[in-house]
């Protein structure tokens, strides 16, 4: 059996609008103006504390408030993480196909594990995944390779990593894992700038891409 580990934000789900809402509630509670969606999308990728740090800098909030405002943003997000979030089209079918083909599936996200699990449960996606490594599961986050390695170790298999961002590409490279890039997420640079084995923009293309990738890499 081969394992396929997936990133979450910008890969399985378009979650930025709920992240934006939580960040803007925190900013409003500090009397600061809201951030627009493209700006917040540019802040996603290194986990919630880093996103809060970037939002605070953008609105001139003093960094000695960071721990407090991170906790407040997480509380806002925990309370409402699925209202505006949607899985990308064709996701469920692609995961069903991969499961039927015998792949073991897991998640490695920089999102804290609790809201990650809430999102998976809300959209009936949890049943597909045997492990969820969140941004707060280990002391380090992606692009450190340890969380990705932990996800594969939990499944007892090597395999492929599927993600949307520079952080994911670097994580895969450092873990020596073949990387498949989903192009419709929160990447900041052109596709060509990210090291990857192959890319896709529609989930119905993923099962064939996985088969080709495994032929090419002999994982």
Q: Which residue numbers are catalytic?
A: 7
Q: Which does 109 bind (CB under 5 to 8 A by kind): ligand PGA, Mg ion, none?
A: ligand PGA
Distances (CA, A) of 158 to 111, 139, 145, 176: 23, 22, 14, 10
Q: Which does 46 bind (CB under 5 to 8 A by kind): ligand PGA, Mg ion, none?
A: ligand PGA
| Residue 103 vs 161, nearer CB to Mg ion | 161
118 among the known binding-site residues?
A: no
Q: Is 170 in the site for Mg ion (CB under 5 A)?
A: no
Q: Which does 85 bind (CB under 5 to 8 A by kind): Mg ion, ligand PGA, none?
A: none
Identify the residue among 165, 179, 182, 187 touching Mg ion (CB under 5 A). Answer: 165
| Residue 159 vs 163, nearer CB to ligand PGA | 163
Residue, CB closest to Mg ion: 10
| Residue 94 vs 132, nearer CB to ligand PGA | 132
- Gyration radius (Cα) of the chain, Å: 17
Map tokens 């090419």 to a residue. Answer: 216
DSSP the chain: --EEEE--BTTTEE-HHHHHHHHHHHHHHTT-----HHHHHHHTTS-HHHHHHHHHHHTT--GGGHHHHHHHHHHHHHHSSSSS-EEPTTHHHHHHHHHHTT-EEEEE-SS-HHHHHHHHHHTT-GGG-SEEE-TTTSSS-TTSSHHHHHHHHHHT--EEEEESSHHHHHHHHHHT--EEEETTSS--S-GGGS--SEEESSGGGHHHHHHHHHHHH--
Interface residues toward ligand PGA, by CB under 6 A: 7-10, 44-48, 51, 109-111, 135, 165
7 among the known binding-site residues?
A: yes
| Residue 46 vs 137, nearer CB to ligand PGA | 46
60 among the known binding-site residues?
A: no
Identify the residue among 18, 118, 164, 170 touching Mg ion (CB under 5 A). Answer: 164
Identify the residue among 3, 5, 6, 10 touching Mg ion (CB under 5 A). Answer: 10
Q: Is 7 in the site for Mg ion (CB under 5 A)?
A: yes
Binding-site residues for Mg(2+), in ranges, read: 7, 9, 164
């Amino acid at each position: 059996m081969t394992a396929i580990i997936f990133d979450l934000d910008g890969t399985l789900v378009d979650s930025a609008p709920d992240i934006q809402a939580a960040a803007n509630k925190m900013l409003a509670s500090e009397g600061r103006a809201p951030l627009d969606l493209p700006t917040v999308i540019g802040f996603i990728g290194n986990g919630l504390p880093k996103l809060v740090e970037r939002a605070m800098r953008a609105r001139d909030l003093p960094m000695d408030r960071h721990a407090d405002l991170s906790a407040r943003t997480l509380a806002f997000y925990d309370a409402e993480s699925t209202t505006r979030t949607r899985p990308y089209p064709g996701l469920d079918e692609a995961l069903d196909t991969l499961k039927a083909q015998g792949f073991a599936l897991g998640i490695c996200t920089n999102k804290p594990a609790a809201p990650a699990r809430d999102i998976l449960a809300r959209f009936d996606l949890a049943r597909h995944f045997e492990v969820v490594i969140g941004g707060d599961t280990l002391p380090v986050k992606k692009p450190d390779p340890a969380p990705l390695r932990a996800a594969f170790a939990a499944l007892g298999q090597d395999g492929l990593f599927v993600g949307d961002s520079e952080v994911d590409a670097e994580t895969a490279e450092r873990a020596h894992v073949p990387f498949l890039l989903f192009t419709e997420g929160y990447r900041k640079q052109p596709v060509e700038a990210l090291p990857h084995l192959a890319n896709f923009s529609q989930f119905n293309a993923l099962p064939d891409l996985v088969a080709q990738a495994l032929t090419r890499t002999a994982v």
